[in-house]
Amino acid sequence: MAEQHVTDRAKTLQELLKQYGYEYHTLDEPSVPDAEYDQLMQELLQLEEQYPELKTPDSPTQRVGGEPLDAFRKVNHRIPMLSLGNAFNEQDLRDFDRRVRQGVGDDVTYVCELKIDGLAVSLSYEDGLFTLGATRGDGTVGEDITHNLKTIRSIPLRLNESVNLEVRGEAFMPHHSFERLNDAKEAAEEAPFANPRNAAAGSLRQLDPKIAAKRHLDIFLYAIGDKGDHPIQYHSEGLEWLESLGLKTNPEWRRCDTIDDVLEYIETYTSQRTELPYEIDGIVIKVDALAHQETLGFTAKSPRWSIAYKFPAEEVVTTLTDIELSVGRTGVITPTAVLNPVRVAGTTVQRASLHNEDLIREKDIRIGDEVVIKKAGDIIPEVVNVLEERRTGNEQPFSMPEECPECNSELVRIEGEVALRCINPKCPAHIREGLIHFVSRNAMDIDGLGEKVVTQLFQNDLIEDVADLYGLKYEDLIQLERMGDKSVQNLLQAIETSKDNSLEKLLFGLGIKYVGTKAAGTLAKTFESIDNLMNASEADFLEVDEIGDKMADAIYTYFQNDDVHQLIDELKEYGVNMAYNGPVINQEDVNNSAFAGKTVVLTGKLEQWSRPEAKAKILELGGKVTSSVSKNTDILVAGADAGSKLDKAQELGIDIWDEERMIASLEQ
């Protein structure tokens, strides 16, 4: 065991390094030279190596990166990380303001924040100690990247208070780190990263944390996912609290009393964005009062109380040198413009989608034209228009072929559609794209089976349909380019793990026309098994909420196909799950619930359930949860230290429950 003076010295070093690190990485106000910091760090490393019992989970030495991982563990977000709706102009913002005021009245203020162009992450703290960091993923399930996030020195390993907290933020790569990284890559004759966002995302998804540690990432925290019992009434108050805990927030946020103040803020940072030491791709506007946020609620994809203003797309001129054709998983033929490489919104662009033949004709796009391109929403390159005045006469008009570029089958245009399709079910491109869709994250989520690996498998005649994926063996995979022993073992395990997915993942992966992730979830919950779906009539599908005539017809037609029946049988033989195994709420339970049709208010401190958990369960059982007490309130659930809401409920004669009664009713 270490002697007392050694223990005291290690503790002193830890505290000094934490303080100096906070001053340097969070406050940007270093109080000691780098050389002194490095000297103290080396001393602490030596002490902890000599006396391992002195090493604590929040020691500054834990940021250097541990042993590499074999794979990323999946993490379920208890509170979903939703995306934001977009605004592209002043009218979109004024419409947002109008909707907000219709929902909560005119007494509303906003908070404006810079939209950092990085990777959204979630940080969890228990008793003030950093315990888990995860990617956003699909919003419901992310990946555990705690080992990499610990290397970001602006993330405190221990907060200034012993609180339980889950907070969201954006990990990013500052310009100086990005330039240094690409200089090193070019010196090593490696391909540089296209932009800081890709570099940040690539760094955080390294299995070896030592690589992430060398990339010098940073973070800004912008939202509280779960604040526990801390009493916060405003988003702006939450940002100030995060800062007091030692968490790094972006200092450029501003509280705005009117939508005109919001527009002024946007104008300021539209002109100043290039002067910032990091990339931003817009402005996020949030309703400040949390009570107003709760009243406004959410759509299926995004909160109604927040919106992201996207900067106008940068436009540049380049030459269109060719038009290539690709065949999608539904057989649609998509033309793509091949361009002279040009920098647009931070990345080099060489290709842009032309969508369909009608768009090419409408814009009179010819091979050899000089064209204006932009990135829609700063993401997807598109051709804006042709510079006809610059034509030389050597440009070549383009027309779509009559035959599929992959299988030479005759192309057809279905009535009511603008797209040309290859309807040959054996078309190699059609099959390949369907396989890529099947293994994608929102479908069967087979990690390691990306587009390149699927293409290799297909080209080597190792797979012809999705069922063949489950018959792959070690000797099949080890022969592929860039597939070593560890990669093959990980891929086979990922394929095996995917067999246990719930039915909705399989349904989306099968690529049934019109069936997206939401419809797949609804179908899985309603019919519970693949056999029930195959035996259902078109009328059965029409009885399901959110399923209309076109989708019902497409689903019914799909499951009448003998080839589909054969495919399902093969998947069953391989042990792929064919049943819904997510949460099930019986309609009879909803009808018999004490909350069915009731308006409920939660107040005070709940001891056994978190408020979001209680709210979600009440909603599942047919109740409505609001933030304020009124004559329309049916039930007030009063936890410890309930205040004015309890007084008002008593005045109005509203039914008042304690937490035990609520839990008993929810679990009944």
Q: What angle do CA 224, 225, 227 make, to 5 degrees?
A: 65
Question: What angle, 0 to 180 degrees and rounded to 10, lies between the N-to-C axes of helices 428-438 and 451-459?
Answer: 140
Q: Are 380 and 337 in contact (CB under 8 A)?
A: no
What is the spatial distance between Cα 611 and Cα 546, in angstroms, rounded to a whole number?
Answer: 29
358: exposed, middle or buried (Cβ count in 10 Å: 0-12, 13-18, 19+):
exposed
Query: Choosing from 115, 310, 505, 645, which is the catalytic residue?
Result: 115
Angle between helix 196-204 and 175-187 (nearest 10): 80
Residue 621: closest CA among 633, 613, 630: 613
CB 187 within 8 A of CB 180: no
Residue pair 578/568 in contact by the 8 Å Cβ criterion: yes
| 160-to-151, 246, 275, 286 alpha-carbon distances in Å | 19, 6, 32, 27
Which of 378, 211, 391, 187 has its CA nearest to residue 282?
Answer: 378
Interatomic CA distance for residues 460 and 479, integer angstroms = 10
CB 133 within 8 A of CB 145: yes
The answer for residues whose C-beta is within 8 angstroms of residue 277's C-beta and 6 or more apart is 174, 175, 176
- Nearest 10 degrees: Cα torsion 72, 76, 79, 80: 70
Q: Are strands 129-135 and 347-353 parallel, antiparallel or unpaired?
A: unpaired
Coil, strand or helix at 119: strand
Amino acid at 240: E
Residues with Cβ within 8 Å of residue 591, at least 6 apart in sequence: 622
Phi and psi dihedrals of 375, rounded to 5? -105, 115
596 close to 623: Cβ distance less than 8 angstroms: yes
> Which residues pair with residue 326 across a beta bridge?
334
Distances from the Cα of 50 to the Cα of 6, 17, 47, 98, angstroms? 10, 19, 5, 64
Asked if 447 and 71 count as a contact pair (C-beta separation under 8 A), the reply is yes
- Element holding 321 (H helix, E strand): strand 315-327
Token couple for 378:
């700063």
Q: Kindly report the number of other CB atoms within 10 A of residue 656's CB atom.
A: 15
Q: Is 115 a catalytic residue?
A: yes
Element (H, E) at 111: strand 110-116
Three-state SS at 622 = coil
- Please give the C-alpha separations between residue 623 and each of 24, 97, 151, 609, 633, in angstroms, as whole numbers: 49, 28, 44, 17, 11
Q: For residues 200 and 173, is the Cβ–Cβ distance under 8 A?
A: yes
Helix, strand or coil for residue 351? strand
- Count CB-CB contacts under 10 A for residue 364: 13
Residues with catalytic function? 115
